[in-house]
Structure 1
Amino acid sequence: MDFWTILQQEWAIRALLASTMVGLMCGVLGVFLVLRHMSLVGDALGHAILPGVVVAFMIVGYNTLGFFFGAVAAGMLTAIGITWIQQNVRTKNDAAIGIVFTAMFSLGVMGISWISHEEGVHLDLKDFLFGNVLGVADQDLWLAAMTMVFVLASVVILYRPLFVSTFQEVLARTMGIRVQTLHYFLMLMLSFAVVASLQTVGVILVVAMLITPASTALLLSKRLKWVLVWAGVLGVVSAVSGLIVAILLETTPGPAIAVVATLLYLLVALFAPERGLVARMVQKLRLRWRIEEEDVLKHVFRMSDGEPPAPAAIAEALG
């Protein structure tokens, strides 16, 4: 079976749709996480939602919708816990994130062990950790679609408050923007996006979809609107390209998507028009040549005024 025939299969179309939606919403949402220095919060929420999945399984059994709301509830509790510790306890921000998410993830693992022992039900953590986009069901697609619409619509509607509170929190407060409420709403959107990404890349690699396209986009533009557009495009390109690579190499899609996103970041980091390493090296060389040229012209000007030539200085200016 050739590659194009494979892409026409129903499971491949589902996987492409899911990857596209997850790449788009994670790329856009990740911009605000990077700019707010909250990159690791996405990773923390990804691990911390496990007890929500366990509790949902205990209540409603194996149900995708139940898992979704249970995971979102756990994610919000984690976000609230991290924020409370950061604001009320003398603990550094990264330490607060580590304390809460490791505790929540450990509770989830303990819950899975209890279910396996008491209920005789085996819950495989592999798909939870690494995703299984090739096994996406209709319900997963609908949840991903609704989450994507919710996230993108929220970003469009709240663009101005998000913009101001991200760059000037004090100004946002004086303008009457409820910064704390906006922060928790951002955490809600993040929880939704993380849960919707589970089937595609899993909790371990969801941070790659949230952070890498956004970081790449920030190298391509200085204007937030264009950064958001670039992040969405790069998220989609990373997700779809990674899926295609996984199909061709017969490997796991989640890691392949993360690798492609990282390769795109490296390419842009090297060759971005203004902020790339190559462009910066060229700018430094041009500046050096300009300084040397001006030094030579300075000595020539002095000689034209009758000042004796200084061969050593001219030679030094010429390098």
Structure 2
Amino acid sequence: MIDLFHILQETWAVRALLASSLVGIMCGILGCFIVLRNMSLVGDALAHAILPGVVVAFLLVGYSTLAFFTGSVLAGLLTAVGITWIQHRVNTKNDAAIGIVFTAMFSLGVIGISYISRNQGVHLDLKDFLFGNVLGVADTDLMLTGLVTLYVILSVVVFYRYLFVSTFQPVVAETMGIPVRLIHYFLMLLLSFAVVASLQTVGVILVVAMLITPAATALLLSDKMERVIVLSAGIGLLSAVAGLVLAIILNTTPGPAIAVTATFFYLLVVMFAPKKGLVAKAIRRRQLKLRIDREDILKAIYRSAQKGQVASAELREKLDISLLNWQRGIKQLRRHKWLENQGLKLTALGEESARRLVRAHRLWETYLATEVGLDKEQIHIDAERHEHLLPEAILSAVDEKLGYPQLDPHGSPIPRSKGKPAYPLSKIPVGDVAVLSTDQDGTYVSARLWEEKMMAGTTFKVIHRDDNQLQLDYEGRTISLPFQLADQINVVPAGTF
């Protein structure tokens, strides 16, 4: 049995743990901007394209961490400039330009390392550059990784506003005077730093996983950029530490173990993220299905009650709902106080909810027939689906758009929203004619109309208005109504009846 606690106290293990942690944090922070800018392939390109810089640095200086860092960064910047130049100056697709440049640079690097490795006394292993060698991290490597991580964090903190705006709204950033292209190259510089600092830990091939996977995982957990950055850094740190420990336990290569661990966390979040996870989506779909079944039962009971007959067996057969779903729906209706505890009699709250569903259905049918131009036979199924999804604000907007219709395309009356006239008298302009609707809400409004001797179905004309009252020409009489009362009287505008 491996004594993990004892192993982690070894000097090489402490160095490896620190280096992995720094790389996880650095790549997690930087990866957020890379993923959001759709530059994941650019990160892959820079990771592979630094090898020629390593070769040139070795030929000029020899085996030196600082020389490798400088050569790799210069090679990365050259690659970024080359990719951008081809994308803007040559008629070549963006992804093709990236592929052309990074494969050429990577191939040159492999050729160079293979050539100089054949010389006697040269210890330049291509495998260490490709897959990393975190267990062989030296003090200079650790110091370099720490400085690069600190520089990346400070750069993101200082230039966060510019990075944020240029990432989401590059056109707006340009109008604000932000040098978008300079920010792009600066991000490429930071990316080159991160890739080079990750060489010893995960290598050029697997550094892409640390740049992309933690950021993609964090974006599934939050939509706020500051929180995404913190989460991505934390996930990167956790992936690096857990991956290294897993590699020690399984006695396998640390770089791939770190990358696989990051992928495992991503898959875990894909399944169980509170809002965007597959489990949460499945639960929401299930809840929506139950709500639709419940509201369909409610509407069916309401319509049957208007006809004078309510039979559960007939309703269930008509709705094509299983007995289990019917019983569940009835139970939920009673829990919501929409249905009496005994029988299938709706409460006042249930009737109002059913009226809202019928109103949504018939308004949407009217919209599809009037505005979209569909036939009467085509609109029912679509209205059945959307009646459960349309909020009151949209229903009110549709109602106003259609001119507050009284009937749907099938000739059925469209219920109006409780406590609010379908078309209030206060909306009638001066000089327009309207008809007093038979559908008034509340005894107060009906009593006031009776006092003014105004009968439903009769025509009147608005002749004057101010902030306090409206004056009507009603059958040769001038009637003054308070504006608050006029706002509660339901009328039918001329041309809609």
Fold-level similarity (TM above 0.5):
yes
The aligned counterpart of 2:320 is 315
- Please give the alpha-carbon distance, in whole angstroms, between the structure 1 residues aligned to 2:122 and 2:15: 28
The aligned counterpart of 2:271 is 270
Establish whether residue 185 from structure 1 lines up as the match of residue 186 from structure 2.
Answer: yes
The aligned counterpart of 2:157 is 156
The alignment's TM-score, normalised by the length of structure 1, stands at: 0.96
The aligned counterpart of 1:7 is 8
Higher relative contact order (CA 8 A, sep 6+): 1
Pairwise CA distance, 1:90: 1.4
- Please give the alpha-carbon distance, in whole angstroms, between the structure 1 residues aligned to 2:277 and 2:116: 51
- Please give the alpha-carbon distance, in whole angstroms, between the structure 1 residues aligned to 2:98 and 2:174: 25
Query: For structure 1, which runs of at least 5 residues remain unmatched after alignment?
Result: none
Correspondences of 1:1-319 after superposition (within 5 Å): 2-116=3-117, 121=122, 123-306=124-307, 308=309, 311=315, 312-316=317-321
Pairwise CA distance, 1:288: 1.1
- For 1:67, give the aligned amino acid: F
Pairwise CA distance, 1:41: 1.2
Pairwise CA distance, 1:102: 0.6
- Are the structure 2 counterparts of residues 8 and 272 from structure 1 closer, same or farther at C-alpha, using a change threshold of 3 Å? same
State the number of aligned residues. Answer: 319
- For 1:138, give the aligned amino acid: D
Pairwise CA distance, 1:316: 4.1
Cα pair 1:115 1:122 within 8 Å, conserved:
no
- Higher mean alpha-carbon deviation, 142-151 vs 302-311, is at 302-311
Q: Secondary structure at the match of 1:251?
A: coil
Q: Secondary structure at the match of 2:221?
A: coil
The aligned counterpart of 2:490 is none
- Please give the alpha-carbon distance, in whole angstroms, between the structure 2 residues aligned to 1:114 and 1:217: 42
| Greater strand fraction, Structure 1 or Structure 2 | 2
- Please give the alpha-carbon distance, in whole angstroms, between the structure 2 residues aligned to 1:114 and 1:316: 74
Instruction: Give CA deviations for 1:294-316 in whole Å, capped at 9, x if unaligned.
Output: 11100111122235555332334
- Please give the alpha-carbon distance, in whole angstroms, between the structure 2 residues aligned to 1:121 and 1:238: 34
- Percent identical: 65
Q: Secondary structure at the match of 2:97?
A: helix
- Are the structure 2 counterparts of residues 293 and 49 from structure 1 closer, same or farther at C-alpha, using a change threshold of 3 Å? same
- For 1:288, give the aligned amino acid: K
Instruction: Give CA deviations for 1:264-300 in whole Å, capped at 9, x if unaligned.
Output: 0000000000000000010011111111111110011
- Are the structure 2 counterparts of residues 6 and 120 from structure 1 closer, same or farther at C-alpha, using a change threshold of 3 Å? closer
- Please give the alpha-carbon distance, in whole angstroms, between the structure 1 residues aligned to 2:101 and 2:125: 23
Query: For structure 2, which runs of at least 5 residues remain unmatched after alignment?
Result: 327-497
- Please give the alpha-carbon distance, in whole angstroms, between the structure 2 residues aligned to 1:46 and 1:182: 20
Cα pair 2:28 2:215 within 8 Å, conserved:
yes
- Please give the alpha-carbon distance, in whole angstroms, between the structure 1 residues aligned to 2:123 and 2:238: 35
- For 1:314, give the aligned amino acid: L
Instruction: Give CA deviations for 1:50-78 in whole Å, capped at 9, x if unaligned.
Output: 00000000111011100000000000000
Pairwise CA distance, 1:116: 4.0
- Are the structure 2 counterparts of residues 125 and 117 from structure 1 closer, same or farther at C-alpha, using a change threshold of 3 Å? closer
The alignment's TM-score, normalised by the length of structure 2, stands at: 0.62
